[in-house]
Amino acid sequence: MTDTTSPAPSVFTKIIGGELPGRFVWADELCVAFATIAPHTDGHVLVVPRQQVVSYVDASDELIAHLAIVAKRIGRAQTRVFDAARAAVMVVGYEVDHLHLHVLPIRAEADVAPAAARHDVPAAELDAAMERLRAGLREDGWGGNVPAALGSPALA
């Protein structure tokens, strides 16, 4: 049997728990979605299970299905609010030992290349992009899953 949890809390577990800051656009009982600090495009988020599962292949089928549905809902909002042709979903998993799906609006395949990541995006720009996405999710009828505050995964 594969050990599905890390011995120490991951950086994502610390973000979800409020020990580190995050910019949240989605929250439910199984997962959250928040801005990556190295976005490829405006609106790039990570969909992360609340449970610290190390790898995609270690997660239950039910959890993977739920993450995929949330990624689709976010992707639909991203394509509209960021005027993108498509939404891309990637599972890479080397940066942090905590399963996460990258969901990002793209205009070309080059948008998902590793070199496309921007590491110097000002906080105000990240905040603005996430607020646009939060508004888009509300417009799509998912307001019940948009956290009350950008910096918290709490719904109330």
Give the residue numbers marked as catalytic: 100
Residue with tokens 């993977």: 64
Tokens of 131: 């607020």
Cβ neighbors of 58 (< 8 A, separation 6 or more) are 2, 4, 99
Q: In this structure, which amino acid lies at residue 60?
A: S
* Closest alpha carbon to 49 in 1, 82, 79, 91: 91
Q: Give me 106's structure tokens.
A: 């793209």
- Helix 61-81 vs helix 123-139: angle between axes, to the nearest 10 degrees? 100
DSSP, collapsed to helix, strand or coil, labels residue 48 as: strand
Which residues are registered as beta bridge partners of 87? 105
